[in-house]
Amino acid sequence: MIRNYFKIAWRNLKKNKVYSFINIFGLSVGMTACFLIFSYVNFELSYDNFHLKKDRIFRVVADIKTPTETINGKGPSWAVPPHITEFPEVAAAVRVLSDIILFKKDNLTFNETESLWADADFFTVFDYKLLKGNPLTVLKEPFSIVLSETSAKKYFGDNDPIGQTILITDDAFPSTVTGIMEDIPVNSQIQGDVVISMTTITKKFAEGVNDQWGNYGPFAYLLLKPDTNAKHLESKFPAFLEKWSGKEMNKSQMFPTLLLEPLKDVYLKSDRGGFVTGNIKNVYVFSIVAMLILLIACMNFINLTTARSSERAKEVGIRKVVGAAKSQLARQFIGESVLICLIAFLLTLVVTSLLLPSFNQLAGKTISQGIFEIPLYILLLFLAATGIGLLAGIYPALILSSFKPTTVLKGRFTTGAKGNFLRKGLVISQFTISIALIIGTIVVYSQMSYMNNRDLGFKKDQILVLDTNSDKNRDVLKQATSSLSNIKNASLSSSVPGTGNLIAYSEIENIKGDLQVANLDLYFVDFDYISLFNIQLAAGRPFSREFKTDTTQAMVLNEAAVKMFGYSSPEQAIGKRFKQWGHEGKIIGVIKDFHFQSLKKPIKPLSMRINPDRGDYLSINISTSNLASTMAAVENQWEKIIPNKPFSYYFLDEFFGRQYKSEEQFGKLFLNFALLAIFLSCLGLLGLASYTTIQRTKEIGIRKIMGASVSSILNLLSRDFLKLVAISFFVATPVSWFFMQEWLMDFAYRTTVSWWVFLAAGVMAMLIALITVGFQAIKVAISNPVDALRTE
Amino acid sequence: MIKIKDLEKYYKTEELQTIALNKLSFEVKQGEFIAVMGPSGCGKSTLLNILGMLDDSDGGSFIFNGEEVINYNERKRASIRKHNIGFVFQSFNLIDQLTVFENVELPLIYTGVKKAERKKKVEAVLEKMQIMHRRKHFPQQLSGGQQQRVAVARAVVNDPKLILADEPTGNLDSSNGNEVMELLTELNDQGTTIIMVTHSEHDAKYSHRIIRMLDGQKVTENSLV
């Protein structure tokens, strides 16, 4: 019996090549999208799962209440982890600080951009595998280094690195390689190529940092003893902080609250940031999109199968006459749809494996081999494909198996109005999904373009930024580069827009004349900074070499800061007092607000001071003519002045744009899936249109003989479908409006979603549908009516 | 074998009700060959569908092999049908995607006959119908007469007690038609009861008894034997 069913199914597939193609191809496109998204989602959910003690590991973060705001910090102060082990519930505490450190081995010099400082328990709390070295001791002594396999190869080739010496930092401290670890897996929230013992900092570089309760910087992770209630432990922290640092908190007016984040939640759910962060929203959005695409593919399948049921009606009738029970027939048709799904599944495996590399590129990371690494996944997907076959097959099977043989064998069979209703419903759902995705894509892209084109309030084009990493010769480099031809000027500063910045405990005279405490964002700059970045002045004057006191006693604020201290105009703030990090003086100028952070964030109050000791970044205003030779000249100067460091540079506009990388990827993925959805919907529409056109061949023949024009027939055939697309448009519009408003809420500065977005999406869908249907309709409309009638 | 009494069947649309069978009664004995005749729309096909348990009636009594089947549900009727009744249609009604062999095999599959047994039975009946050489062909590759022979083969492969034939020669030329009538007669001679609906007086002469119908009622009944 099964062989018989299989034969019938196979022969049917072969006979109706177009429909089989649409069915199988459509399903496998849907499945491929689904599998790719599945592997993406699965990968996102897999972060940090490899740590055996993951359920007991928590990240400690601090909400720091200051007189003006509450800062959601990524970590506690330096002193917390060494002291927090006094709680019996805490088995271990590990601080991890990421850094960029200069490494030198013989003639090899690298700026290790992914360096980590970590406490001694790093390799016992986390399961980063050590290939060589004892996890208990590798990070115990100052100047101990654990290299990843890759970086070990880089420095030592095939030689054994253990016990070898590498010089680290600008000051070339000899350090010993104590261990080799496997490269940290991509799905780890902590990323690093080299790990250096934290004792190097706490015992050598910054003695006493272990007792600094107001100094923030590293991330911190706790390993709790089994069966510890984290919430309960959290409730003991205020007393702990009070005991150790009550006085200091009152003095600095910074009151931290320590919170525990489960390690498993940090990557996807924490909004405080980290080494690498994911976004649970994206996981949800793409899961839903995957389901929708699969749904569209299944709808195509149901649609085509029921639409063509009249062709199978005779077979059903005959089988019933010769003794088939309804259940046997239902099983046959479900089996057929499962067969189609399994063929689609095989195709999907091939296509998925071909697409995986480009999908990795699209997703912006290596989702490893994903589904192909683990046989269990293949099995799961196989079961999923079977399930899809069952689900998509049930409805057509019920319809087909309930045909009455007496009617179908007499040729009185017509597809009922009920089936039409269902088909229309399915087409509407498909196009609703497609239009909603198109709208979503347009909104994402217009937000991207809004962010890229918005006037940021500073000059970001033609600015080359060199990361001198606080080299002692940076001033010489500045002088040397600014005298090059094609370079207008240069400036040293602690930050450039997009790099992040210092935050300083400050006291500023407010409108009432009091010194108001605030944590101000702080840029240390030089005299050329404001003019180089073309930052506009709102009041007062910029820093000037003519005023000797500017170096130590002058501050420039932005408008947001002025507003915070109660001044209604920038002019009022000029000449007011400030105290900041041991310096006192007057406010000499107010600059207009500029976006020193991404447009996702509102512009915060910012202070600027001159400080020649803090100039990590050398910004160079470069003319674009002869760019290559200018670049070569700059590099040449670098090699002469800072020969011990690799030349590292970027262009500011690109760098600033990098903050939107995740949005850009989101947009790209969204675009691709929207295209896929509309493609699948059209594939279904094409099948349906060609089927109804064939069914109406005779009607069209008669109409033509009666004198109908080609255009009237075109109109007749397309009208019904276009009506459905129009209905979809009205369903999709409010839904997508709601969701895209929600998405835009993440951006402090956002584009407005105007009506044309919806109209454009609607018109686009309409046009695509028209082309799809029209292609079929024209074929029939221009055919000879006599041929049409003869086929009957 | 078959006894129907006061059999009724209506077709209803929203506005009007058509009577297809109007208190029809007659009996068919085991081994008989009956021809049912009458103009189009007189209810012949409706009768055949009810006798074949493909359709239900709206009243009366239908005793099949001593069993009252009038109120049986679809499943029970299907079960009686597959073990007892074979069908031959005017338009052959073969499944296009199955070969001759597979078409004939179909009823055996649904009655659960083992594979080896099926092969034997199908080959025997194809031999008998003289289309063994065509067993691997598909219906479209055969002439009308050959197709109807396949259909007859399919109808008899299960050794049914009753064959219902709905204008079996209607789509055939006269020589092919005669061949099919000879086949049916032969089957009847071997003990199979046959009820045949036909327009053709020529074909009706092969039967033992002719029932003439008009407007859902029996008009005359004349025995030819």
A223 in any annotated domain: yes
Nearest Cα to Cα of residue B158 among B125, B130, B182, B132:
B125
Sequence-distant (6+) residues with CB within 8 A of A30 are A293, A294, A296, A297, A298, A680
A311: which chain B residues are within 8 Å (Cβ-Cβ)? none
Tell me how many domains chain A contains.
4
A424 in any annotated domain: no
Whether residues A539 and A664 share a domain: the answer is: no
A712 in any annotated domain: yes
Q: List the single residue in A with minimal CA-CA distance to B93.
A: A318
B74: which chain A residues are within 8 Å (Cβ-Cβ)? 326
Q: A688 vs A426, A511, A773, CA distance in Å?
A: 11, 72, 9
pTM of the model: 0.76
Q: Which member of B74, B97, B107 has the closest CB to residue A322? A: B107
Of the residues A655, A689, A717, the one at which a domain ends: A655
Do the Cβ atoms of A404 and B109 come within 8 Å? no
d(CA A6, nearest CA chain B) in Å: 11
d(CA B19, nearest CA chain A) in Å: 17
Check if B94 contacts A (Cβ < 8 Å): yes
Q: Which member of B81, B97, B154 has the closest CB to residue A11? A: B97
- Sign (positive or negative) of CA dihedral A33, A35, A40, A45: positive
Whether residues A329 and A181 share a domain: the answer is: no
Whether residues A516 and A613 share a domain: the answer is: yes
Instruction: Please identify among residues 289-318 of chain A the ones whose CB lies closer than 8 Å to any CB of chain B.
Output: 314-315, 317-318
Whether residues A129 and A191 share a domain: the answer is: yes
Determine the structural domain holding residue A607 and report its residue range.
Answer: 463-655
A422 in any annotated domain: no
A359 in any annotated domain: yes
**Cβ(A765)–Cβ(A678) under 8 Å?**
yes
Between A309-321 and B100-110, two packed helices, what is the crossing angle to 10 degrees?
60
Whether residues A643 and A767 share a domain: the answer is: no
Residue to substitute from A2, A16, A315, A321, interface B, most B β-carbons within 10 A = A321
Do the Cβ atoms of A8 and B54 come within 8 Å? no
Nearest Cα to Cα of residue A260 among A49, A69, A80, A519:
A80
Whether residues A73 and A221 share a domain: the answer is: yes
The answer to ipTM > 0.85 is no
Check if B141 contacts A (Cβ < 8 Å): no
Summarised one tens digit per residue, pLDDT across range A394-436 is 888 888 888 877 777 765 555 555 567 878 888 899 889 889 9
Which residue type is seen at A335?
Answer: G
A15 in any annotated domain: yes
Q: Name the β-bridge partners of B193.
A: B162
Do the Cβ atoms of A8 and B49 come within 8 Å? no
Do the Cβ atoms of B78 and A315 come within 8 Å? no
Distance from C-alpha of A540 to C-alpha of A561, rounded to nearest angstrom: 15
**Cβ(A22)–Cβ(A681) under 8 Å?**
no
Whether residues A356 and A246 share a domain: the answer is: no
How many C-beta atoms surround the C-beta of residue A530 within 10 A?
A: 21
Nearest Cα to Cα of residue A321 among B161, B72, B154:
B154
Whether residues A439 and A500 share a domain: the answer is: no
Burial class (CB in 10 A: 0-12, 13-18, 19+), A489: middle
Task: Enter the tokens of residue B5.
Answer: 């009494």
Mean pLDDT by groups of 10 residues along chain B of 225 residues: 91 80 91 92 87 87 91 84 88 85 88 90 92 92 91 91 91 89 92 93 93 89 81
pLDDT at B193: 95
Summarised one tens digit per residue, pLDDT across range A13-40 is 887 787 888 888 888 888 888 888 888 8
DSSP A660: G
Distance from C-alpha of A318 to C-alpha of B87, rounded to nearest angstrom: 9
Do the Cβ atoms of A406 and B54 come within 8 Å? yes
A457 in any annotated domain: no
Whether residues A647 and A663 share a domain: the answer is: no
Ranges under pLDDT 70 in chain A: 1, 310, 368-373, 410-419, 785-792
Check if A410 contacts B (Cβ < 8 Å): yes
Distance from C-alpha of B130 to C-alpha of A628, rounded to nearest angstrom: 90
pLDDT at A790: 55
Whether residues A640 and A688 share a domain: the answer is: no
Whether residues A495 and A433 share a domain: the answer is: no
pLDDT at A280: 86
Of the residues A212, A234, A269, the one at which a domain ends: A269
Residue to substitute from A2, A16, A322, interface B, most B β-carbons within 10 A = A322
Q: List the single residue in B with minimal CA-CA distance to A315.
A: B95
Ordered alpha helix ranges (H), A648-784 = 652-657, 661-695, 697-705, 710-744, 755-781
Alpha carbon of residue A7 to chain centroid: 48
Whether residues A713 and A624 share a domain: the answer is: no
Do the Cβ atoms of A404 and B55 come within 8 Å? yes
Distance from C-alpha of A448 to C-alpha of A503, rounded to nearest angstrom: 29
Residue to substitute from B21, B79, B98, interface A, most A β-carbons within 10 A = B98
pLDDT at A792: 37
Q: Is A504 left (phi over 0), alpha (psi -120 to 50) or beta?
A: beta
d(CA B117, nearest CA chain A) in Å: 14
A702 in any annotated domain: yes
Of the residues A269, A289, A305, the one at which a domain ends: A269
Q: List the single residue in B with minimal CA-CA distance to A322.
A: B107
